[in-house]
Amino acid sequence: MSTMPQETRQAVLQEVYALPEEVLPELLDYVRFLRLRTTRDEDLRERFLSALDTARTIAAQEQINEETIDYEIQQHRTGQ
């Protein structure tokens, strides 16, 4: 990705600051989408594997396993 001219960057920031507060979460989602769209496949793979490792670590700390997940899903489905 080429570097954005400083004037364009400033214009984008001015537009962002002019937006109402309630649309900022949507803007953030869109900006993240644009970044993902321009990310290389290998970078995405590394980010995914890192997130998966973090999720596994948290699951181990919280003693969450397949049986726990299946049980909670069944409880939810039966309304308990």
pLDDT at 1: 47
| Distance in angstroms (rounded) separating the CA atoms of residues 16 and 30 | 12
pLDDT at 41: 86
- Sign of CA pseudo-dihedral 68, 70, 73, 74: negative
pLDDT at 65: 92
Q: Which residues of the chain have pLDDT under 50?
A: 1
